[in-house]
Structure 1
């Protein structure tokens, strides 16, 4: 967490448009002492947008009114359609799946503050929390979202590859062997084309996008920018890959693949996932999904490797995107032969 900023400082961080909406909202809340006395706290760990917690003192000195302001990252429209994301966000709000949308301005939005804690990197390894995530993930995948139900993974990878090639410096392209990636995407797509288990996927289920109510232990999944219909095995693979990351260290871009979950941990997750709808899966179902998940880790490495190369050229957030990308591509090449044999 950053230091709390004064209202004067807040003016330099928040667009005037956002401040007007915040003032208007707060002036309708009878318990807020002064609608202009907002405090702004930057929330760390976001790598696509800037996220701030806004709070106002109230008549009860132990309680404050809070909301979240999300300012969209510059140039990140290259990754997703913002209108699609807002539609998803509104659908989730209506179905009690995430925070409510409180307001929109041209460069961002205001969201309900959820009284739950954001998970930390070690939480993903906690068997009880992990089981709750598996159950919630199954519920998420089963959502019947309006709009196209076509898989986006392969088209998105190809589109991002074209963008990365246009933006990358010759050194960046050489360091990650960018010229070889097109053939690898085609090979993976061919290898996995029989996979019919499609669901509405989050596609970015890192710990910072998962919240838990400390009392009820209820899990809430937030931030749907990358969400779309995809193979469910890709979403689970992506979640497993995220266990190598801790975005709240001095070197947030550094990944530790020694933390990738072992076979027993992956089996437990998949068993919980498959049985959460009331059907007891047979061992063959568990093994089949586990095998596909491992192959989809390769797609996850390409996905976030390309994202890193592009982000280096479009995003102003203080994060070493190129080094992050190199690690994802290195992991791809390291595991490729073993997983595709």
Structure 2
């Protein structure tokens, strides 16, 4: 969802290494990168550890010794993810966020991935993000990112709808496996119905008045790292970062309270929790923007309505994304099932959240 991300002067340069890291031989590929990035490390002393086989990419940690003080993460892009992610824009977003202290060091890019600093701390789970103390930290960190101004002087515009239509054009119409195809036809709405929903969303949500800001766009629990010693959170994985509606980014995060592997939408934050979160967010946003005015109830209520309506767009977006992954991904994950869950939740939520009205 990034468009015209401008990397300002003074941002750290990121070398590109002509190396391809094969998933089946990830250690060998990682050691080739380390010859450039950590030439003093002896190959026989390097430990490589697969931190996660995430649902998009493979992530490998590299370090020497037992303390894990200096850990390099090698992220190998998943199969066909270039259909879903603009890698040049991802790197630009990464560099802008690094410049503002919101991202780890980006050491290099290579032919099929990138290498960056490991952030000390624990990746969160759904039970953590509703903790009042941690949720305030998350709200503040997201406000910090949203307050980063567009350095090129343009008034940024969201290309959410353009990206959504691009995903829609990639959604498969059939699957080679008969059982999978039958499940797809039975559980996923027909293309014409999905197309009508997209047109409706664009017309309605573009008129909600949500500001366009620099967004993370994929703030699921595991992308939030909590450092207990420093009492701070930082976000990782900027594949989908870019200019987008403020309310989309928050609504997307609220949807992620439900988790990914075993999705449970009873965990979607209830109104009282949302209002506390949104007030904390607005207070921090105004602070970072150097706006002196107090946060009033009507501002919180307005954002509450915008966020819950944009949460629909988040469900729809990731539903389309998962349908594409179901066709191309080699990762062992039920992407079709995930798409069905997200699209079902879209239609379930729609009557309730569209009954909300913006304050006068």
Establish whether TM, by shorter chain, passes 0.5.
Answer: yes
Q: State whether structure 2 residue 197 is matched by structure 1 residue 184.
A: yes
CA change 1:284–1:273 in 2 (3 A) is same
Note the alpha carbon deviations across 1:109-158, whole angstroms, 9 max, x for none: 11112222222221101100000100111111111245672201111111
Stretches (4+) displaced over 6 A: none
Q: Provide the C-alpha distance between the structure 1 equivalents of 2:43 and 2:172, rounded to a whole number of angstroms.
A: 48
The Cα RMSD (Å) is: 2.1
Q: Provide the C-alpha distance between the structure 1 equivalents of 2:106 and 2:142, rounded to a whole number of angstroms.
A: 22
Which runs of 5 or more structure 1 residues have no equivalent in the other structure?
A: 1-9
Is the 1:305–1:324 Cα contact (8 Å) retained in structure 2? yes
1:165: Cα distance to partner?
Answer: 4.2
Select 1:288's aligned residue among 288, 302, 307.
302
Give the match for residue 227 of structure 1: 241
Which runs of 5 or more structure 2 residues have no equivalent in the other structure?
A: 1-21, 176-180, 288-292, 356-360
Is the 1:45–1:208 Cα contact (8 Å) retained in structure 2? no
Count of residue pairs the alignment pairs up: 319
Is the 1:17–1:105 Cα contact (8 Å) retained in structure 2? no
Q: Within 5 Å, which residues of 2 pair with 1:277-316?
A: 277-278=286-287, 279-316=293-330
Task: Name the SS of the counterpart of 1:205 in structure 2.
Answer: coil
Q: Provide the C-alpha distance between the structure 2 equivalents of 1:319 and 1:335, rounded to a whole number of angstroms.
A: 25
Q: Provide the C-alpha distance between the structure 2 equivalents of 1:65 and 1:202, rounded to a whole number of angstroms.
A: 26
Give the match for residue 345 of structure 2: 331
Give the match for residue 4 of structure 2: none
1:17: Cα distance to partner?
Answer: 4.5
CA change 1:89–1:145 in 2 (3 A) is farther
Give the match for residue 3 of structure 1: none
Mean Cα deviation higher: 86-95 or 160-169 = 160-169
CA change 1:167–1:137 in 2 (3 A) is farther
Select 1:23's aligned residue among 22, 30, 35.
35
Is the 1:165–1:173 Cα contact (8 Å) retained in structure 2? no
Q: Provide the C-alpha distance between the structure 2 equivalents of 1:324 and 1:111, rounded to a whole number of angstroms.
A: 29
Is the 2:210–2:247 Cα contact (8 Å) retained in structure 1? no
1:334: Cα distance to partner?
Answer: 1.1
TM-score normalised to structure 2 length = 0.83
Give the match for residue 187 of structure 2: 175
1:62: Cα distance to partner?
Answer: 4.7
Mean Cα deviation higher: 171-180 or 282-291 = 171-180
Q: Within 5 Å, which residues of 2 pair with 1:1-341?
A: 12-14=24-26, 16-28=28-40, 32=41, 34-44=42-52, 46-57=54-65, 62=67, 65-146=70-151, 149-166=156-173, 169=181, 171-179=183-191, 180-194=193-207, 195-245=209-259, 247=260, 252=261, 254-276=262-284, 277-278=286-287, 279-341=293-355
Q: Provide the C-alpha distance between the structure 2 equivalents of 1:237 and 1:303, rounded to a whole number of angstroms.
A: 12
Is the 1:274–1:280 Cα contact (8 Å) retained in structure 2? no
